[in-house]
Structure 1
C-alpha cells in the first residue's frame, strides 16, 4: 500500500545567493494561497532536528495551511544591517510575487523569537527599513511573539506574549497572553520551551487573524470532513482516507487510547483495526455541528450491530449480537484543506451497559460519609451511575428521557459472598 498517496510534492527552493531565504509553495491539495514572510533568528534554525512531536516547523506548518511561505533566517550581522535586511525582505516579496502558486501581492509577516534572540539593534533596524516606512511595504498583517516597536500605519498587529510578567500594550489591536509559556519558543517544535497544546491554541488564533486580513485561504471544512468520513465508512478505502490528511496526522480515540500517531502507524491502524473493522450496518447520525476557523466539532450517534470484534471501540470483546447506539463527540483539526488530527470521545460506560457487560451494582469498598462501615459478613454496593441506550435518546431529543433520575441512586448493604 502506498501510504504517501495524495501528498503534495512542492519542494522548498533557495532564493538568492546568500542561502538566507527559503521559498516554500503551498503544501495543500489545492496548491495555492496568499503569501507569508517569516523572520526567524538563526538560533531557531536547528530545532527541527530535535523535534520529536508531529508538529512540523513553521515553514512547513504554514505551507500546509495553504500559504506560500518565504522564510528569512537572520544571523547577527544581517539583523543589524539595514541595507541587508531591506534587500532580504525585498527579495522575499519579489519571490512570492513571482510564484504562480501565490494568489496575491500583499503578504502577512510573522516575526519569530524575542528581542533577546536578535542583536540589540534589530528592532530599530527593522523599524527603519525603507520598505516598512513607505508604500513599497506590501505587508497587510503583522504577527509577532514579542512587543516590537514597529510602527506601520494601518497595518493590523497581533502579539502572542509569553511569560508571567508580560503586560498588554494599549496600542495593539490584538494581544494574547500565555503566562505559563517560558519564552516565544513555545511555538517552535524542538525548542526547549515548546508547548504542544499552547502552540496549537496560538496557531489557531494566528490563523484566524491572518485569514481575516489576507482574505484567505478559505476552504469548506465541512466538505473536507464529510469527504474523509465517506472514504472511511462508505468507500472504505485506506488510501483515499489517508490522502485527505496532512503528511503526519494522528487520530486519538480517547476512552480506549486507540488510533495512530504519524502517517505510517495511522495507515496501519486504519487498515487492520478500523476501516474494515466496522460492521456493515454502521451508521452516523449527526446531532449538531460547530465549524471554527480550523476545526469541526460534531455531536453524533454512532450505531451498529455487534457482529464482529470492534478493536478500536471495545477492544478484546467478542461479538455479542447486541445493537448499540452511542453518543459521540469528535473534534477535528483541519490544516489547510487536509485533516491534521481527530480527537474522538464517547462514554465507554454506556457501551458496556448496552452490551450487558457492566453490572447494575458494584462493591463500594469505603465507609459511608458518616463513617459507617458494613456489618460483619456484609458489604456495601453502589448502583453504577451509567445508562444504556437512553444516553443516545437524550442526546438526540432531550425530552425523550427524564433528567436527574440517578439522583435517587443509593448505597445498599448485601451479604458479602
Structure 2
C-alpha cells in the first residue's frame, strides 16, 4: 500500500506571527512547503489568535496549516475604517516573501456584520478574487452583495424557496444555532459542522486561487510508510500537524494531541504490530482535503495487539480483515484519521466469536422457549469471507445470512 520513502521528513514549521497594529496581524504558512497564497480572515475581537485548545486550532492557525499566508483582521481594527485596514492587509501580503502568488487573495468573514463592512469596498481591491461569509438564515436579506464569487455558510434550515444569485453559492447547516458554529473556543462552536464547512470552503477557494494544492496520496503513503515499514515514531509524527488525533473506532483507541498520540504510537501501535503485517489496498477516494481508503489488513496474531484486540493473548491465527480509513490532511500534513474495521470478523478469525449466542428475549408473537431450554441466534458475522468478498465480489455468494434462524437448545 505504501511506496518506498527514501527522503527524511521535512522539519515541522514553527508559528511566525507579526502584529501590524492592534487587531491586525499576519502569520506565515505552517505547511512544510513554507509558502502559499494570501488569505484574509475577518474575526471577532480575540486574544486567542494562536490558540490550540483540546486539539482545536484558532481560525488563523487552521488556515496557516492549510498552507496560506494569513492576515487576521479583528473587529476592533475593521470598524476604524474598512477600506484602510483592508489596504494594509493587502500591502502586508504583497510585501511578504512567503506569500505566493500575490495576485489572488481570498477573504473569509466569520461574522456577517464584518462582511457587511468589507463587501462594499471589494470593487477597489482587485487582488481579492473570492469571498466566504458565515451567517444565519435571518441575515440572508441583509448581507451585502459582492463583485467576486461568494460562498455562504448559513446556520439554520434551508428555506423552501431560495432566490438564485449570480456568483453566490450557499450551504445550510440546520442544526447550527448561529454563525458562531464556526468559531472555536465558545459554547456554540460545532466541531463537525465547522469541519464540513471548512472542506467546502477549500473546494470553493482553491480553483479560484489556484491552490495551494498538495499531493495527498504521497503524504498519506509517507505516513503509512513510517508507521509500518520504518516504524519510527518521530518520523510518523513529523507528517502530522501540531495537534493531530487518531481514532480507532471499534476499540476506542488512539490519541488526541501530539504527546498522547506519540505515546500511543510508541507503546500501543507501531511496535505492537506483527512482523508480517501487510496492507492490501482495495480502493482509494481523493477529496480536496482527505483520502478515504478501503484496504485489507493482514497479520498473524503472534503477539498482543492491544490497539486491535486489547487484552487478548496471541492466538497465532492468520487474520485478514476489511478496514476503512478516513484521513483528513491539512495542507501537506495529516490532521486526523478515523479508522474502522470489522471487529466481528477479527474475533471470528481468531476463534473467539462463537457461531451461536443466547437470545434472551421473547419472540415477536410473545412465545418463549420451553422449560429447560433457551433460544440461540446465529451470529451474523463472517470470518475471512469478509476480506475475500471485498477483494473479489464473486468469491462468496451474497445474501447467505438471510437464511440464519433462531434455534431452541437445552439450557
Q: Normalized against structure 1, the TM-score is what?
A: 0.91
Shift of 1:49: 9.3
- 5 Å matches for 1:72-87? 72-75=73-76, 78-81=77-80, 84-87=81-84
> Is the 8 Å Cα contact of residues 49 and 59 (structure 2) preserved in structure 1?
no
Structure 2 Cα separation of the partners of residues 287 and 64 of structure 1? 30
> Is the 8 Å Cα contact of residues 10 and 32 (structure 2) preserved in structure 1?
no
Shift of 1:151: 3.7
Corresponding residue for residue 57 of structure 1? 58
Secondary structure of the 1:191 match is coil
118, 122, 137: which one aligns with 1:126: 118
> Is the 8 Å Cα contact of residues 5 and 242 (structure 1) preserved in structure 2?
no
Corresponding residue for residue 109 of structure 2? 111
> Is the 8 Å Cα contact of residues 51 and 189 (structure 1) preserved in structure 2?
no
2, 14, 18: which one aligns with 1:13: 18
Structure 2 Cα separation of the partners of residues 88 and 48 of structure 1? 18
Corresponding residue for residue 170 of structure 1? 164
Structure 1 Cα separation of the partners of residues 79 and 243 of structure 2? 37
270, 279, 285: which one aligns with 1:284: 279
Corresponding residue for residue 401 of structure 1? 396
Structure 2 Cα separation of the partners of residues 399 and 347 of structure 1? 20
> Are 1:100 and 2:97 counterparts?
yes
Corresponding residue for residue 377 of structure 1? 372
Secondary structure of the 1:216 match is coil
> Is the 8 Å Cα contact of residues 48 and 189 (structure 1) preserved in structure 2?
no
Structure 2 Cα separation of the partners of residues 165 and 386 of structure 1? 41
Corresponding residue for residue 68 of structure 2? 67
Structure 2 Cα separation of the partners of residues 350 and 362 of structure 1? 16
Structure 1 Cα separation of the partners of residues 149 and 345 of structure 2? 49
Shift of 1:169: 4.7
* Number of equivalent positions: 395
Corresponding residue for residue 365 of structure 1? 360
**1:63-103 deviation digits (Å, cap 9, x = unpaired):** 0000000001122xx5444xx32221111111111111111
Corresponding residue for residue 330 of structure 2? 335
Structure 2 Cα separation of the partners of residues 331 and 192 of structure 1? 27
Structure 1 Cα separation of the partners of residues 50 and 10 of structure 2? 25
> Is the 8 Å Cα contact of residues 26 and 32 (structure 1) preserved in structure 2?
yes
Change (3 A) 1:26 1:50: closer
Corresponding residue for residue 6 of structure 2? none
**1:18-67 deviation digits (Å, cap 9, x = unpaired):** 3221101000111111110111222xx15679974312011000000000
Structure 2 Cα separation of the partners of residues 390 and 179 of structure 1? 41
- Segments of structure 2 that go 5 or more residues without pairing to the other structure are 1-8
> Are 1:232 and 2:213 counterparts?
no
Shift of 1:254: 0.3
Once structures 1 and 2 are overlaid, which stretch shifts more, 402-411 or 266-275?
402-411
Structure 1 Cα separation of the partners of residues 119 and 353 of structure 2? 66
Corresponding residue for residue 152 of structure 1? 146
> Is the 8 Å Cα contact of residues 47 and 191 (structure 1) preserved in structure 2?
no
Shift of 1:149: 3.9
> Is the 8 Å Cα contact of residues 207 and 293 (structure 1) preserved in structure 2?
yes
